[in-house]
């Protein structure tokens, strides 16, 4: 079976399970919307917020809600003792990595289809930017978050404190990407020319490429370490 077919098979398997149960997707969308509502109350209902504040609010909701889904990436395999089965399957470790990253990317994108409209309903009355300018920013953050988070999720999945260790390891790595995303989103919400966004989009794309390469190289060791930990626990 070709690599593309292997990735597609693994991706469809995980998405089929997720869309049937909707555990991660519903949790991500609900938690993100709840954060937006709370921040709307905290800043004052109907009170005007500037573009910089709005950008920070949006990314707080997106990033914190996305961690919920990320923590479930290998949870089902670990709970069912199937991590070893993944390794002895015909799929290469890098194919598993790509498929899991695409699952995370898809879940983040679907949850943002809920969160971005909620954000505009609560905060968008005073924001003049074209919402379509947010699309490349969201997609790059989703990609960077997915390629980085999938690797960190594989590293932390074999630990007993996975839910605690995952954000501790992940957030420091994501800080450059989040900082660039907030700055780019602020420019987009303030209706600045799209050319102004390119100054942030280019290093964001570089971040994605670098961490995708790091994930490709380190994921086989991370997943095999997780498998060894599972064996030792028996």
Q: What is the pLDDT of residues 124-148, one digit of tens each?
A: 766 777 888 899 999 999 999 999 9
In three-state form (DSSP H/G/I as H, E/B as E, the rest C), the secondary structure along the chain is CCHHHHHHHHHHHHHHHHHHHCHHHHHHHHHHHHHHHHHHHHHCCCCCCCHHHHHHHHHHHHHHHHHHHHCCCCHHHHHCCCHHHHHHCCCCHHHHHHHHHHHHHHHHHHHHHHHHHHHHHHHHHHCCCCHHHHHHHHHHHHHHHHHHHHHHHHHHCCCCCHHHHHHHHHHHHHHHHHHHHHHHHHHHHCCCCHHHHHHHHHHHHHHHHHHHHHHHHHHHHHHHHHHHHHHHCC
- pLDDT band of residue 73 (cuts 50, 70, 90) is confident
Whether the predicted pLDDT of 164 surpasses 70 = yes
Q: Give the number of C-alpha atoms closer than 13 A to the C-alpha of residue 103, restricted to the C-beta side.
A: 31
Instruction: Please state, for a pLDDT cut of 70, what percent of the chain lies above it.
Output: 85
25-29, 155-159, 216-220: the lowest-pLDDT one: 155-159
Q: Which has the closest alpha carbon to 184: 133, 131, 145?
A: 133
pLDDT of residue 231 exceeding 90: no
pTM above 0.75, yes or no: yes
- Calculate the CA 106 to chain-centre distance: 9
The string of pLDDT tens digits covering residues 42-64 is: 888 777 788 888 899 999 999 99
Q: What does the alpha-carbon distance between residue 15 and residue 21 come to, in Å, rounded to a whole number?
A: 10
The phi-psi region of residue 159 (left if phi > 0; otherwise alpha if psi is between -120 and 50; otherwise beta) is: beta
Residues with Cβ within 8 Å of 116's Cβ and at least 6 positions away in sequence, in order, are 58, 131, 134, 138
Segment 191-202 shows an average pLDDT of 85
Helices 93-123 and 3-21, axial angle in degrees (round to 10): 40
Q: Contact 31/65 with Cβ under 8 angstroms?
A: yes
CA distance 91 to 151: 17
131 class by beta-carbon count within 10 Å (0-12 exposed, 13-18 middle, 19+ buried) = middle
* Mean pLDDT of the region 95-117: 92
């Amino acid at each position: 079976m070709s690599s593309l077919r292997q990735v597609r098979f693994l991706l469809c398997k995980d998405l089929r399970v997720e869309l049937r149960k909707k555990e991660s997707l519903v949790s991500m969308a609900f938690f993100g919307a709840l954060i937006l509502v709370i921040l709307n109350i905290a800043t004052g209902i109907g009170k005007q917020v500037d573009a910089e504040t709005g950008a920070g609010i949006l990314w707080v909701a997106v990033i914190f809600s996305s961690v919920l889904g990320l923590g479930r990436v290998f949870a089902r395999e670990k709970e069912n003792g199937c991590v070893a089965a993944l390794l002895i399957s015909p799929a290469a470790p890098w194919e598993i990595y790509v498929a899991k990253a695409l699952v995370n990317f898809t879940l983040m994108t679907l949850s943002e289809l809920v969160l971005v409209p909620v954000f505009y309903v609560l905060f968008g009355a005073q924001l003049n930017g074209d919402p379509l300018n947010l699309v490349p920013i969201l997609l790059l953050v989703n990609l960077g978050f997915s390629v980085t988070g999938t690797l960190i999720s594989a590293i932390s999945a074999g630990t007993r404190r996975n839910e605690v260790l995952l954000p501790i390891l992940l957030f420091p790595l994501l800080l450059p990407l989040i900082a660039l995303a907030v700055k780019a989103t602020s420019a987009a919400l303030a209706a600045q020319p799209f050319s102004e966004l390119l100054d942030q989009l280019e290093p964001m794309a570089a971040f994605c490429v670098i961490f995708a390469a790091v994930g490709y190289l380190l994921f086989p060791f991370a997943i095999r370490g997780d498998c060894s930990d599972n064996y030792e626990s028996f």
